[in-house]
Amino acid sequence: MRGIVMAAPGDVRVEEREDPKIIKPTDAIIRLTATCICGSDLWPYRGVEPVNHTPMGHEYVGVVEEIGDEVKTLKVGDFVVGSFVISDNTCEICQAGYQSRCVHAEFVSQTIGTQAERARIPFADGTLVATPGHPAPDLIPSLLAASDVLGTGWFAAVAAEAGPGKTVAVVGDGAVGLMGVLAARQLGAERIIAMSRHADRQALAREYGATDIVEARGDEGVARIKQLTNGLGAHSVIEAVGTHESMMQAIRATRPGGHVGFVGVAHEGVSLPADELFFSEVHLHGGPAPVRRFLPHLIQLIWDRKINPGKVFDLTLPLAEASEGYKAMHERRAIKVLLSL
Amino acid sequence: MRGIVMAAPGDVRVEEREDPKIIKPTDAIIRLTATCICGSDLWPYRGVEPVNHTPMGHEYVGVVEEIGDEVKTLKVGDFVVGSFVISDNTCEICQAGYQSRCVHAEFVSQTIGTQAERARIPFADGTLVATPGHPAPDLIPSLLAASDVLGTGWFAAVAAEAGPGKTVAVVGDGAVGLMGVLAARQLGAERIIAMSRHADRQALAREYGATDIVEARGDEGVARIKQLTNGLGAHSVIEAVGTHESMMQAIRATRPGGHVGFVGVAHEGVSLPADELFFSEVHLHGGPAPVRRFLPHLIQLIWDRKINPGKVFDLTLPLAEASEGYKAMHERRAIKVLLSL
């Protein structure tokens, strides 16, 4: 079968590799219907993270082709959406809603690579969720978004305690930030301030529910958020970038007692000043999103056409042209690229 | 009147200063019944924080001597307990429970100094709480503890979401850590692990409700907490020290999805690695405790003799001997020193 590897930073290739096989009785083999390129895939592309002939991809929807003997909730032919982290969904950590830190957690991106025609998914019952039936083609992008960016933006909004009566600010206008806007709206937030400098992303943010746009960043951006909130700061701030600057912007834009939900992948060397965190008196929570917690609800919202997260994909290419997709995202010509199969 | 100043690091003196007067109509003047020395007073004592003839003290109980025209909830003669942060208790931040970050917040330690015979308390209605009557003498130490260490330990336990079914670990065996143990017990925690190497503090921790003692620190201490919790870590961890080491010990001892309540005053230069915080997936919340939020409840618990936080004072000295009190705490001969008037 064909799959995408990154041979070296900036060097994305299609390779022929062996078809995956069932190894453990809890595995499933899926045939991918669609996959995509994540903002986090750009870190190795840009040489910020090491990469060496690495199978790429961790977002996926597809059809179950084969199941191990112990798989109980899925059958061959089911259309499924999976999380970017493998989880058993039964351990104490999963049951508390943190499937991304399951005692059996495994990152799909590091070992499996779903920018490919097929994939072996361990702990299939705990990782995959079947849709109510085979989806109409126009639902595929939205279901694919649920696999990571929607689930991640949703987790950020939940971690930031977005809800009725709340003012929510969103730092980062990439796909995850935009999904954070959508999630905050669905969770009932009163006011949603998207921090963005790009006209196309601002438009999509407004479509997803943003009530205000702030173009300023850093200290100036924080001052603007305070102006909009009686000098107090937002109740809830979603951080969807992962740099020191964006983290500090999020913390400083939050009122005392407010909540920061941070899902931008923080990189080695980024540190936070404990004294400022102490005196800010905010709540800080984030990390790799436990997408599996939210998948059943998100699938239903998509199935019922109550949300349309798939609009975040503004470029679709065949899998074979993945290299062009990476380039487009790297050059910010695309927010997010769907790879069709 | 007499008051304590720190002339320079390690140099604590009694000075004569002018009696405080009502300045604003929301002020009250109180005559101190008891005050005490805080662990945070040792930072300038040790030269870690700048000090220059600074009036000391921020914990206090006393009797109202005079009130401004706009004070409504207090009358002359009331016995009161106050928070170490001035608050109006009416602004949006106070109403959300964060009186320590009130829009009119002022630290008692930096401007007022309650290691003295009298003190002017701004926003008296919002800062002070009257007890149901004049307390029996044996209740004074406990009411004084409510002013800071009990309120702070309580906030840490609430921030760490200590409660029924939870395993709570406490990093730090000073007065605040011990109060964290007491609070976790009152909040219904199932198991409370005190991290302590001092026999006297271990004994008090057990008396306050600790079910387990861990003497190991750092990585070894974290490993021990994991051993005691099926390899997962504690649900709730109270951090009551404020160093990089203690913060990392607290974060690493917490299970994914668990809660760290940190109240050890973090000092400049202490930083936290954002990537580890991200992948740890813990909730982090802390800061200067909004003691005012908890005071009515804590006073009632003390009044009804349901808790005895005053046992944390293991040395009582007259105000004039404050210098010896600082020395005893600095040398760890005393956990916490009460200064009587």
- In 3-state terms, chain B is what percent helix, strand and coil (to 5)? 35, 25, 40
Instruction: For residue B87, report the phi and psi dihedrals to the nearest 5 degrees.
Output: -145, 150
CB A157 within 8 A of CB A92: no
Summarize the confidence of residues A83-89 as an average pLDDT: 98
* β-strand pairing of A271-273 with A315-318: unpaired
User: In this structure, which topology does domain A151-286 adopt according to CATH?
Assistant: Rossmann fold (3.40.50)
Q: What is the pLDDT of residues B119-140, one digit of tens each?
A: 999 999 999 999 999 999 999 9
Partner-chain contact B271 A268, CB within 8 Å = no
Residues from chain B contacting residue A282 (CB–CB below 8 Å): 285
Residues ≥6 apart with Cβ < 8 Å to A220: none
Minimal CA separation from A24 to chain B, in Å: 25
Q: How far is B63 from chain A (nearest CA, A)?
A: 31
**What digits encode the pLDDT tens for the residues A102-127?**
999 999 987 899 999 999 999 999 99
Q: Which residue of A has its CA nearest to B261?
A: A283
| Facing residue for A284 by CB, picked from B232, B275, B284 | B284
Asked if residue A115 lies in contact with residue A69, where contact means CB atoms within 8 angstroms, the answer is no
B138 vs A239: CA distance, rounded Å: 50
Under DSSP, the state recorded for A211 is S
pLDDT reading at A10 higher than 80: yes
The token pair at B240 is 């009551």
Residue from B107, B259, B284, B291 to probe the interface with A (highest A Cβ count within 10 Å): B284
pLDDT in tens, B162-172: 999 999 999 99
Out of 3.40.50.2300, 3.40.640.10, 3.10.150.10, 3.90.180.10, select the CATH number for domain A2-148+290-340.
3.90.180.10
Q: Residue A48's pLDDT is what? A: 87
Token pair of A97 as six digits: 């809603």
Is B93's CB within 8 Å of A232's CB?
Answer: yes
The count of other CB atoms within 10 Å of the CB of residue A11 is 13
Residue A23 CA, chain-centre distance (Å), reads 28
* Inter-chain residue contact B285 with A283, CB threshold 8 Å: yes
H helices present in chain A, as ranges: 42-45, 92-95, 108-111, 124-127, 140-146, 149-159, 175-186, 199-208, 218-227, 244-252, 274-280, 291-303, 322-330
Task: Check B279 against A268: CB less than 8 A apart.
Answer: no
* Other C-beta atoms lying within 10 Å of the C-beta of residue B296: 11
CB contact under 8 A, A101 and B256: yes
User: What confidence tens digit (pLDDT) does each residue in B212-266 have?
Assistant: 999 999 999 999 999 999 999 999 999 999 999 999 999 999 999 999 999 998 8
Least CB-CB distance to B281: which of A100, A232, A282? Answer: A100
Q: Nearest CA of chain B to the CA of A245: how many Å?
A: 12
Minimal-distance CA residue of chain B relative to A289: B281
Task: Reply yes or no on whether the pLDDT at B110 is more than 80.
Answer: no
- Closest Cβ–Cβ partner in A230, A231, A286 for B278: A286
pLDDT for the residue numbered B205: 98
What is the DSSP pairing of strand B54-55 with strand B2-8? antiparallel
In A, minimum Cα distance to B283 occurs at A285
Contact check, Cβ <8 Å, B274/A265: no
DSSP code of B266? P
Nearest to A256 among B98, B266, B271 (CB): B98
Question: In chain B, which residues have their Cβ closer than 8 Å to the Cβ of A284?
Answer: 277, 283-285
DSSP strand pairing (B2-8 vs B11-16): antiparallel
Interface list for chain A against chain B, based on CB atoms closer than 8 Å: 92-93, 96-98, 100-101, 103, 230-232, 242, 244, 247, 255-257, 262, 265-275, 277-288
**Model pLDDT, residue A111:** 84
Look at A256 and B93 and tell me if their CB atoms are within 8 Å. yes
ipTM of the complex: 0.96
Tokens standing for residue B217: 């620190």
Residue B279 to residue A288, Cβ atoms within 8 A: yes
Which H helix or E strand runs over B292?
A: helix B291-303
CA distance B74 to B251: 42
pLDDT-based confidence at A219, cuts 50/70/90?
very high
Residue B152 burial by Cβ neighbours in a 10 Å radius (0-12, 13-18, 19+): buried
- Strand (E) or helix (H) holding B192: strand B191-195
pLDDT tens digits along B184-194: 999 999 999 99
pLDDT at residue number A88: 98
Residue B86 banded pLDDT, cuts 50, 70, 90: very high
Which residues of B fall within a CB distance of 8 Å from A257?
93, 96-98, 101
> By CB neighbour count within 10 A (0-12 exposed, 13-18 middle, 19+ buried), where does B271 fall?
middle
What's the length of chain B? Answer: 341
Nearest 10 degrees: Cα torsion B180, B186, B191, B192: 20
Size of interface A-B (CB pairs under 8 A): 120
Q: Cβ separation of B93 and A279 shorter than 8 Å?
A: no
Q: What's the pLDDT at B126?
A: 98
Tell whether domain B152-286 is in CATH 3.40.50.11610: no
Give the angle B297-B302-B306 at the CA atoms, nearest 5°. Answer: 100
**A227: CB partners within 8 A, 6+ apart:** none
For B256, the closest of A98, A230, A262 (CB atoms) is: A98
Contact: A271, B274; criterion CB under 8 Å: yes
Cβ-Cβ contacts under 8 Å, B269 against chain A: 275
Across chain B, mean pLDDT equals 97
CA distance A177 to chain B (A): 17
Q: Do residue A93 and residue B257 have CB atoms under 8 angstroms apart?
A: yes
A184 pLDDT higher than 80: yes
Residue of A nearest to B264 (CA): A278
**Least CB–CB distance from B278: residue in A230, A257, A287:** A287
Q: Which of A107, A116, A15, A111 is nearest to A62 (CA)?
A: A116
Q: Do A274 and B270 touch (CB under 8 A)?
A: yes
What pLDDT, on a 0 to 100 scale, did the predictor assign at position A297?
A: 98
Best residue in A278, A280, A292 for a mutation probing chain B (most B CBs within 10 Å): A278
B282/A281 touch (CB, cutoff 8 Å), yes or no: no
List pLDDT tens digits, range B25-71.
999 999 999 999 999 999 999 998 899 999 999 999 999 999 999 99
Query: Which residues on chain B are in Cβ contact (under 8 Å) with A285?
Result: 282-284
Chain A residue with CA closest to B234: the answer is A93
Q: Domain spans of chain A?
A: 2-148+290-340, 151-286
> What's the mean pLDDT when you consider all of chain A?
97
Q: Summarize pLDDT for B306-337 with one digit per residue, the tens.
A: 999 999 999 999 999 999 999 999 999 999 99
